Structure 1
Amino acid sequence: MTILRPLSCLLPESGTKIALIILNRPLDLSLTTKLWKKSDFTAATDGAVNQLCKTFSENKEEFLPNLISGDFDSADPETVEYYKSRNVEIVPTPDQDDTDFTKCLKIVCERLNPAKVSNIVALGGFGGRLDHSLANINTLYAAKQFSPLPVMLVSSSSVACLLDKGKHTLLCDTGLEGDWCGLIPVGCPADHVTTTGLKYNLTDHRMAFGELISTSNSIVDSQVTVDTDQPLLWTVGYQNKDS
């Protein structure tokens, strides 16, 4: 049985620590600051350094990541040099078989101390180009092979994580949960899915694209259980509240 609290990364700074990866998407100042303050380890991918420098232009000295990685085809060279001059570790990853996110995540997993953080948060996982969003979801599948911690994709309105095959309890008690959630068979069909705690529960249902998928669902209990024979993507909306 796996127990997850998907929105715990959005709770105030006093909660559990995270490892934070900044992806190349426009950043919300308030959300980024909140996540940064909860981070024990921070990293940025390639062009994300441009976003990071722009977002914290007034006080960027206070928001220096532990490392920056990528093939650097989209990062501004002067920005990279700025962070390098501040002793930020710069890790070139020219391999084109993996995305910058996947490559960065592998490095972060090698560097962090799993005992100090509860999960890894990738900020900017959705929005913009659809192929990028799908690639980020694919990284969740790849991460099963090397990440010792759950990996969360976070945007300005939703959080997503991968539930591997087996039984899961999702703690939905943060007070931040929004009015929608989804359970989606992105990788392959799941022939046996049973849930509790949702408005529209499943009882040994088959889920597959072109057939049944559970979108526009909602949470009705502080604990949601999912029992599945194949990995499923869990996604939930959240309310923006000041910490």
Structure 2
Amino acid sequence: MSLHHPGGAPRLLTSEFLARRETGSISEGRQEHHHQEQEQQQQHALGGLSHSIPKTHTYLVLLNWNLSKRLPDFWEKAGTCICADGGSNRLHDELPAMMPEQDPEAVRRRFLPSVIKGDLDSIRPEVLAFYKGLGVPIVDSSADQDTTDLTKCIAYIEEHLKLEEAQLQEARCISPRICMEAAEADQRRYQQLQESKQQQQQQQQNEAPNDSVAQQERTSSASGQQAAQLLGTSADRNQGTVQGSTPGLGSERVTLQEGVFLQHKHQIIVLGALGGRLDHTLAAINTLHMFPDLNIVLLGDGNLVRLLPQGRSVIKPDRSIEGPMCGLVPMRGAATATSTGLRWNVDKTRMAFGGLVSTSNKICSDIIEVETDSDLVWTVELKD
């Protein structure tokens, strides 16, 4: 092991990953049911997508970084594609170049995103006008400056999953009705956030009315904490644009039982999540920790990253394209973990930044198991 992580050549292919939480809050019978379900789903998947999860529950998120040339393959497998702000520019510009034998305008019109969501400060005006003119829903989340565009998109997907399960119907995010319902849920949460901020500010004023500088600092810090717990949105349908931000966090996070259920009913593939600015990459990894119950894969620049939640995780890598270099990184604090299937396994080993971190490890088995008392980040290189 060493304390650095080597780069890899771009290749957005991966196998299916399975994460299982084992806690006393789930009965032994329920644990066995989920274990059997996981075993049935352990199949190698092309393009990072599981064949056992229906297209209607497969989500593709495009970020504002280099997109894989396999984007058309991902698109074919996904039922919903969400562009995060500047990801719309990438889709508009790069996809036609992947199909040089076809008319660029026809390609753009054929591959329309289900929704564009974000601050809308990166999407070019002509790109915004193009997609808006073709009826693509535009969700303006500029009112929320406490979360990234990726976090907004993932929370939007989570809201869809909750709405669809509540309505006992399959996911159809291209439906304007479902999109509007998610946006309305955004609105309610944003209003709650604003009320919380106002109450906090009033409390700060009552405590220290003469200390304006200290008051502003406390208010800013408290507002950030409130946002992390209760990220909300608003809705304004003027001129076909939905105003919104981020739903589904804080005290309303799904329960463990719901989380395990959701994990096997959906998959979220994020393209353009790795590479470029380091702060953007770190923000994407932070989003994984914000949604530990969602099945999210980050891909970009020859790397795959995903969360191994607290408990036991089983990974079946496609060794023809994945590895051998990999890593187990505790990015949320210290973690004590045990692994099998790696060149340098950990055995009840405490890992933390400032100490031991299992990077530059190697895959040595078709099955890798990791048991951890705290969330870990799994990273693996992807071959040409």
Q: 1:5 to 1:182 in 2, by over 3 A?
A: farther
Match 2:344 to one of 192, 195, 200: 200
1:138 alignment partner, SS class = helix
User: Greater CA deviation, 227-236 or 8-17?
Assistant: 8-17
For 2:159, the equivalent position in structure 1 comes to 110
Q: 1:223 to 1:115 in 2, by over 3 A?
A: closer
The answer to whether the aligner puts 1:210 opposite 2:354 as a matched pair is yes
For 2:332, the equivalent position in structure 1 comes to 187
| 8 Å CA contact 1:160, 1:234 repeated in 2 | yes
Match 1:139 to one of 265, 270, 287: 287
| Structure with the bigger percentage of strand | 1
In structure 2, runs of 5+ residues without a counterpart are 1-18, 21-37, 97-103, 162-170, 172-261
Match 1:22 to one of 45, 62, 75: 62
| 8 Å CA contact 2:43, 2:50 repeated in 1 | no
CA distance in 1, matches of 2:270, 2:49: 18
CA distance in 1, matches of 2:43, 2:85: 26
In structure 1, runs of 5+ residues without a counterpart are none
User: Greater CA deviation, 196-205 or 177-186?
Assistant: 177-186
1:131 alignment partner, SS class = helix
One-letter amino acid of the counterpart of residue 226, structure 1: V
| 8 Å CA contact 2:49, 2:267 repeated in 1 | no
CA distance in 1, matches of 2:264, 2:346: 36
For 1:123, the equivalent position in structure 2 comes to 271
One-letter amino acid of the counterpart of residue 102, structure 1: T
How far 1:125 sits from its partner (Å)?
1.0
Greater radius of gyration (CA): 2
How far 1:164 sits from its partner (Å)?
1.1
How far 1:178 sits from its partner (Å)?
2.3
TM-score of the superposed pair, with normalisation by structure 2: 0.57
| Structure with the bigger percentage of helix | 2
How far 1:26 sits from its partner (Å)?
2.2
TM-score of the superposed pair, with normalisation by structure 1: 0.88
1:230-241 matches, cutoff 5 A: 230-240=374-384
- Cα displacement string for residues 189-210 of structure 1 (whole angstroms, at most 9, x for unaligned residues): 11x2100000110000000011
One-letter amino acid of the counterpart of residue 185, structure 1: P
One-letter amino acid of the counterpart of residue 60, structure 1: R
Match 2:150 to one of 75, 85, 101: 101
| 8 Å CA contact 1:125, 1:136 repeated in 2 | yes
Match 2:45 to one of 8, 25, 40: 8
Q: 1:182 to 1:70 in 2, by over 3 A?
A: same
The answer to whether the aligner puts 1:71 opposite 2:119 as a matched pair is yes
Match 2:138 to one of 90, 93, 98: 90
CA distance in 1, matches of 2:320, 2:42: 12
1:56 alignment partner, SS class = helix
- Cα displacement string for residues 138-162 of structure 1 (whole angstroms, at most 9, x for unaligned residues): 1111112xxx531110113111101
1:69 alignment partner, SS class = strand
Across the two proteins, how many residue pairs are aligned to each other?
Answer: 235
| 8 Å CA contact 2:339, 2:368 repeated in 1 | yes
Q: 1:121 to 1:11 in 2, by over 3 A?
A: closer
Over the aligned positions, Cα root-mean-square deviation in angstroms equals 2.4
Q: 1:125 to 1:38 in 2, by over 3 A?
A: same
| 8 Å CA contact 1:207, 1:213 repeated in 2 | yes
CA distance in 2, matches of 1:117, 1:88: 26
Identity of aligned pairs, percent? Answer: 37
User: Greater CA deviation, 179-188 or 103-112?
Assistant: 103-112
- Cα displacement string for residues 78-121 of structure 1 (whole angstroms, at most 9, x for unaligned residues): 21121111121111111001101101111122235369964101
